[in-house]
Amino acid sequence: MSSNLFKKILWVFDPLLFSFKYISRKKWALYAVIIAAIISTIARLYVPLLIGDSVSSIENLDLRGLEYFAILIIVVTAISAAFQFIVNYGSQFIGQTYSFNLRNNVFNHLVRKSFSFFEGQTTGDLLSRTTMDIEASRNFITSTLSQLIPTIFMIVFGLYFLLTINWVYAAVFILSVPLMVYIGMVFQRKQRLHWRSIRGYYGRMNEELQENIIGQRTIRGFSAEEWEISKFMSTTDSYYQEYVQVAKLRGLYNNLLPLVLGGAATVILIYGGYSSLISSASVGPLVAAINIFTLVSPSVSSIGRLIVFSENARAGIQRINDVISEEYVEKLDRGAGAPLSSDLEFENVSFSRGNRKILDSLSFSISGGEFVGITGKTATGKSTLVNLMLRFYDPDFGSIRIGGVDIRSLPLTVLRRMISIVPQEITLLSGTIRENIAYGSPGASMDEIRSAADIANISAFIETLHEGYDTLVGERGITLSGGQKQRIAVARAILGKPQVLILDDSTSSVDPETELEMFRMIKSSLRGMTVINVTHRHSAMKYADRVFKLDHGSITLLHDESGMQDASGVSRIPGEEGDPSA
């Protein structure tokens, strides 16, 4: 039982052990804080004794003594304040150093995590790991150093000082301090659950608002305004109810503590008063004792809060550990050594997700410089196929080779420099158009950027803008249409002159004429570059040398340059009849 309790107490300090890694070179600060805390606490507790002594001097009409003690009060307070500065600043220094180092470490791991890691996470969740969870553990470390350690010293020395005055006072102290710690802990525990729900409802409020605003046309189109209002009101109501629950707890526990303090002070007042009344002793020690009580009790009640901080910190550290573990981290292996040719070969490639087989023993090859189309129904694994080429995932079976070399034996950076992809959903970063185009090759010259934009058929548009290539995009910048974004992304991909360019349905918002012009330019200006165009739109196939069709996990050749269809019996180009644009 008692060893169990001991373990629990140690557990509270677990986050401190975790933090040592990140403050190892600043251990001296830790020692400085602890020593300063001892000095500051003793000095602080000495002040009530001095006040008591001053009262006694007044009683004895000893003005000189009074002056002496009064000046001593200021001097001792100044000493305590100076060391308190070291405690506060030092613990912040340690806490901030910790969070700085940890945050860098988390981020370094995060950007190197593999694609499958990100699939299981939401942006909000990862954000909260790098901000809130780190904050929670930092908070605990800072508060432990600046509050918990001084409080422990305060209890020890406070008890000692009280014992020097009167053992009854010390006994009252021993009885009331644990009671206050306990009340504080119970309160924090109970309150925490409600805060968690409040946070949950707050998040839901955010989501509902976002959906409501973005979905306004849909909501009005279906006359769902009242439905939406009542949905939101029920969320704000739950939020309200939780707040009232917290208020009820605060109302009880927060005010119970001063009541305990008041009770203890009354006992001391009446007992101490009565004994000095009959013994005609000075009231100075009584005043000092009450003062020590009131000095120690606020810190004591904060221990409960620190225990909860520690729980939050431990939970946060656990989540951070998921990120900084080596699991899912890609080995980038910077280096040279690219294969000479860009022939692509798929051999018996299979890939499943869960129980669903997405690609089933796929074999085909694309020779360097070819312009190939891959088509297929919605959600048949076209994007998966593309992701395998960049090794965002690895196939379950089979192999993919580039220039005869298995891509798994190539350093990732080399592979990804050789193969450039324009995905379905375009991400432009906040910054200028120029920065966005040059993202993959920051050293590119303006001429190179311009010629990439030319090929992507976006240069004419950029030049109509006031600030041309220096126009800001992203949240603060201009709003680009889907087609414009896609063309910028194409320029970005071809700027680095990759050997293989993959267009993953990346021209869906570009109008057909521009699209065809772009393909023509790519084909004529970037000879030797292998182009894989993944789409179900037929118009995009005009420049394709060969077109493959992906269906139920297997691939068939639909037609090649000569217009020949393969033997599989698929004789029709999808969407041919009456559907030229599909």
Partner 1 sequence: MRLEYHGFQERREIHLPKLQTYDETEDQYFGKIDTRGSLERLIRDMFSFRNDSRQVIITVFVTAVAGTLYPLSLGLAINSILSRNSAGLVFYGILFLLLYIVQFFSNRIRTISSTRVAQSTIKSLRDRALGNLQRVPLKFFGNVKTGYLISRITNDGEALSEFLTFQLPQVISGISTVVISISIMFYLDWRLTLYALIAIPALIGFTFAIQPRVRRNYLGTRRTIAAITGNLSENINAIRLIKSFGAEDRTAEQFSKLNGNNYRSNMKAQRLSSIYGSIIRVIEAAGITTVIIAGGVQLVSGLVTIGIMVAFVVYLQEFFDPVVQLSQTYTSYQSAMVGVGRIYAIIDTEGEKAEFRGSISAGFGKSIDIKDMSFSYGDENAIDSISMSIPKGSKIGVVGHTGAGKTTLSNIIMKFIDTTGGSVTIDGLDLRSIETSSYRKLIAPVLQEQFLFRGSIYDNVIFNRPDISRETVDRLSVSFGFDAIFAGMDHGLDTSIGEMGRNLSEGQRQAISIMRALVREPEILVMDEPTSQIDPESERVIMAALSKYLAGRTLILITHRFSMISLVDNIIVLDHGRKVEEGKFEELLKSGGTFAKLYGIQTEV
Pick between residue 258 and residue 369 the one whose CB is nearest to partner 1: 258
Both tokens of 388, joined, read: 């395998």
- Return d(Cα 75, Cα 123) in angstroms, integer: 54
Kindly tell me which residue out of 10, 175, 193, 270 binds partner 1, with binding defined by CB under 8 A. 270
Under rule CB under 8 A, residue 219 binds partner 1:
yes
Is 3 or 122 the residue whose CB approaches partner 1 more closely?
122
Choose, by CB under 8 A, the member of 9, 259, 315, 446 that binds partner 1. 259
For partner 1, the binding residues in 229-258 under the rule CB under 8 A are 229, 232-233, 236-237, 239-240, 243-244, 246-248, 250-252, 254-258
Q: In the range 468-527, which residues lie near partner 1 by CB under 8 A?
A: 475-476, 496, 508, 511-513
Of 199, 337, 397, 478, the residue at the interface with partner 1 (CB under 8 A) is 199
Q: Which of residues 175-194 bind partner 1 (CB under 8 A)?
A: 184, 187, 192
Among 1, 4, 7, 61, indicate the residue that binds partner 1 (CB under 8 A): 61
Binding segment for partner 1 (CB under 8 A), chosen from 121-129, 156-164, 448-456, 525-533, is: 121-129
**Which one of 315, 429, 446, 478 is in contact with partner 1 (CB under 8 A)?**
429
Indicate which single residue of 400, 412, 494, 550 sits in contact with partner 1 (rule: CB under 8 A): 412
**3 state SS of 472:** strand
Burial degree of 10 (CB within 10 A; 0-12, 13-18, 19+): exposed
**Separation of alpha carbons 434 and 442, rounded Å:** 10
> Taking the complex as a whole, how short is the minimal distance between the CB of residue 367 and partner 1, in angstroms?
23
Q: SS3 of 551, please?
A: strand
Interface with partner 1 in residues 380-399 (CB under 8 A):
390, 392
Q: Using the rule CB under 8 A, is 580 a contact of partner 1?
A: yes
Please name the residue that has the structure tokens 């393969």.
566
Return d(Cα 318, Cα 312) in angstroms, integer. Answer: 10
CA neighbor of 351 nearest in space, from 554, 558, 548: 554
Strands 530-534, 500-504: parallel, antiparallel or unpaired by DSSP? parallel
Nearest to 480 by CA among 454, 509, 438: 509
Residue from the set 263, 335, 337, 404 that interacts with partner 1 by CB under 8 A: 263
Comparing CB distances to partner 1, the nearer of 55 and 449 is 55
Residue 524: CA count within 13 A, CB half-sphere: 9
315-354 positions binding partner 1, by CB under 8 A? 330, 332, 354
By beta-carbon proximity to partner 1, the closer residue of 170 and 389 is 389
Task: Give the DSSP H/E element, type plus range, for residue 534.
Answer: strand 530-534
Total interface residues for partner 1 by CB under 8 A? 167
Q: Which residues of 524-549 are buried (b: 16+ CB within 10 A; e: fewer)?
A: eebeebbbbbbbbbbbbbebbbbbbb
Residues 70-89 that bind partner 1 (CB under 8 A): 70-71, 73-74, 77-78, 80-82, 84-85, 88-89
Please write down the HEC assignment for all residues of 134-164. HHHHHHHHHHHHHHHHHHHHHHHHHHHHHHH
We find the least distance from the C-beta atom of residue 406 to partner 1, in angstroms, to be 19
